[in-house]
A = this chain, B = another copy of it.
Amino acid sequence: MDPTAPRRRWGWGVAGETPDADAVAERKAYLEDALGFPELSVADPVPLAEATVPEPGLAVPDRLAAFCSADRAARARHTYGMAPPESIRGFHGDFAPAPDLVATPRTEDEVAETLAWATEAGVAVSPVTGGTGVAGGTGPPQGDLRERYAGTLALNLRELDQVLEVDETSRAARIQGGALGPELNAQLREHDLHLRHYPQSYQLSGLGGWIATRSGGHYATRYTHIDEFVQSVRMIAPAGAFETQRLPEHGAGPDARRLVCGSEGALGVITEAWMQVEPRPAYRSAAAVYFDGVEPAADAIRAIVQAKLTPANCRLHDRVETSMYGLQDLDRELVVLGFESADRPTDPELERALELAAEHGGECPDGPDHFGPGYGRDRPADSDVTRWGQAFQMGEAAGAEVALGVVSGTVETAVTWDKFPEFNEAMVSALEDAAAEVCGMGHVSTRFTHVYPDGPAPYYTFMAPGAEDPEERIEQWSTIKQAGLDTVMEFDLTPTHHHAVGRDHRDWYAQQIPENYDEVLRAVKAVLDPAGVMAPGVLVDPPE
C-alpha cells in the first residue's frame, strides 16, 4: 500500500472508493458459512458526486491561501476518522459535518499562522495526520458544539513528513509530526536505524497522531505505547511553541512530555519530536503455543511477564478469534510469542517462556523457530506464526464489512490480573447479550494486545449482522459498544488502552479520571488554547 496515494474517503485504504471485490466475497462467504450470519447483501459506496457535502461556510482566507482549500473532495476526505459510525456514514455518502476548509501547511510557521488565524476568527481546528483514529476524535465538531464556532478547518500535517536530524550516537532522530510510519522508517533506514513502533494502522498513520493519541505499537511488553520512545516533543499551541528539552530522562517536576502525549489535538499540533530509534533486530525467536481455555493461557502469560521476560510479541487469541481469522478447526486458545534482539540470540528467553507456558498447560507442537543473525523472510509462508502476522493486517476486511452491512467494533481496556477472569467473563457476556438483543446474534472474541507484569490489555471484537439502514446499524453498533464500555466502568477500568478518548469515549473517560482532573485539563487548555479552538469536544470541553 502506497502511503502517499490518495486515501479512500470513507475508511481504511488507498485503493479508490469501492472495497476490493475479492476481499468482500471472501469475507461474505466466511461470515455466512463459518459464523452462521444470514445471507448478506453487498452495497456499493455512494460516489462523491452523489454524496451530501455541504457547501463551505467560509472562504479561504488570504493569509492561508497558499496552503488552504475549500475543495469538495478534500473536505469530504477530512470529515471523518475511521470509527465504525464514520465509515458507515462515509460509505453511504453522508458528509454533513465536513470542514469548511482544509489546510495543509508546509512549514511549522504555516501551522502557527493557521492557528493564529483560527484563534482570531473563532474557527475550530481539527488536526490530523493519518486520519485513522477510531474514537471519533478526528473530524470537526458537530451539533451544538459546532454552532459555537464561526467555521471549521481540518489541519492536515502530511506535508511535514521529514526526518530532520539523526543522532546515531544517542540513537535518536528528530522527525516531523506528519511523517507516516513507512515514510519515516524509509528515511531512518539510510542510517541503519528505525522507530520500532508499529500500531495496526502503521501504514497510514503517522508520528504526530501516534503521540497525540498515545498509540499502542509493536511491542507487547515494556515499550507498548509511543510514549516510551519520545525523547522530546515540540507542539505548536495557539499560545506559542511548547517544546520539551532533549534529554534521556529527568526528575524535574511533572514531566511536560507526558502532558503532550495523549493531548489528542486539544492543546496544539505536534509538529516534531526527537524519538528514540534502534537498529533492526538481527535475531528473532518465535513460537505458537496452544491452550485449552483463556484462563490457563492468561496464567501462562502472567508467569512470563512476571518473570520479567519481555517478549516483543505476546498475543493471546481466544478460539473465537482464531475462528474469525481462518483457523475454524483449531478450537483452542493461541498464544504467539516472539523475542527479538539486534545484539544477540534470543533463544534462551523464548525457551524459558515456553517452559513457563508448559507449566500452565501450553503446548508447542511445532517447536520454536529461531532466526539470525541477519534473518530475512526465511520463515515458512504457511507457518502459524507467519499466518498470525498477516492476519493482523485487517484493513481490507474492515472495508468489506462496511459493504456487507456488518456491525463490527472493538472494546479495549487494561485490567490487573486479579480482576481479569471475572471481568473477561462479564465483558464477553455483556457484548454477546447486547448483540443478540439488537442484531439477533453476534460473535465476540478476546485478544491480549499488550501485557504488563501487573495485568493485560484485553481487546474485544464484536461482529454481528446489521440493519440495512445505515443509521439503524450505527444505533446497533452504539448499543453493543456502550454495553462493553459500561462493563469496563463496572470494574473501574479505562475505556481505552491505546485507541484514545476522542469524542466517543468521553462519557466513560469522565468516570475514569480523578476528581478535579477535568478541571485541571480545562485549566491547562485555557493556558495553551485560550480561545478553545483546538479539536473542540475531543478529550476536554473548550472554555465556556
Contacts and interface: CB of A to CB of B under 8 A. Distances in A.
A487 interface: no
A224 B496 CA distance: 27
A457 interface: yes
B514 A252 contact: no
A264 B253 contact: yes
A247 B415 contact: yes
Interface string A484-525: 000000001111111111000100010011111101110110
Given A245-B494, A249-B224, A249-B414, A516 B520 contact: no
Interface string A339-368: 001111000100010000000000000000
Nearest to A492: B245
A308 interface: yes
Interface residues of A, number: 93
Contacts of A243: 514-515
Given A248-B455, A343-B307, A517 B167 contact: no
B505 A252 contact: yes
Contact of A253 (B348, B450, B493, B539): B539
Contacts of A253: 262-264, 501, 509, 513, 521, 539-540
A39 interface: no
Contacts of A500: 251-252
A170 B352 CA distance: 21
This protein's copies in its complex: 2
Contact of A454 (B276, B306, B417, B514): B276
B499 A251 contact: yes
A237 B516 contact: yes
A527 interface: yes
Interface in A209-264: 213-216, 224-225, 227, 231, 237, 239-256, 258-264
B250 A494 contact: yes
A256 to B, nearest CB: 5
B276 A453 contact: yes
A163 interface: no
A390 interface: no
A520 B263 CA distance: 14
B251 A493 contact: no
A171 interface: yes
B514 A520 contact: no
Given A249-B452, A418-B170, A520 B512 contact: no
Nearest to A213: B251
A454 B254 contact: no
B454 A252 contact: no
Contact of A252 (B247, B308, B495): B495
A249 B414 CA distance: 6
Contact of A498 (B171, B240, B251, B512): B251
B416 A170 contact: yes
A216 B248 CA distance: 14
B539 A528 contact: no
B239 A516 contact: yes
A248 B456 contact: yes
A218 to B, nearest CB: 14
Contacts of A417: 169-170
Interface of A: 167, 169-172, 213-216, 224-225, 227, 231, 237, 239-256, 258-264, 276, 278, 302, 306-309, 341-344, 348, 352, 413-418, 450, 452-457, 492-501, 505, 509, 512-517, 519-521, 523-524, 526-528, 539-540
8 contacts: A240-B515, A242-B516, A248-B415, A248-B454, A248-B456, A254-B521, A256-B517, A308-B342
Given A224-B249, A245-B494, A255-B262, 16 more contacts: A167-B416, A170-B417, A214-B252, A215-B251, A243-B515, A247-B455, A249-B414, A249-B497, A251-B262, A251-B499, A252-B262, A252-B494, A252-B509, A253-B513, A254-B260, A254-B263
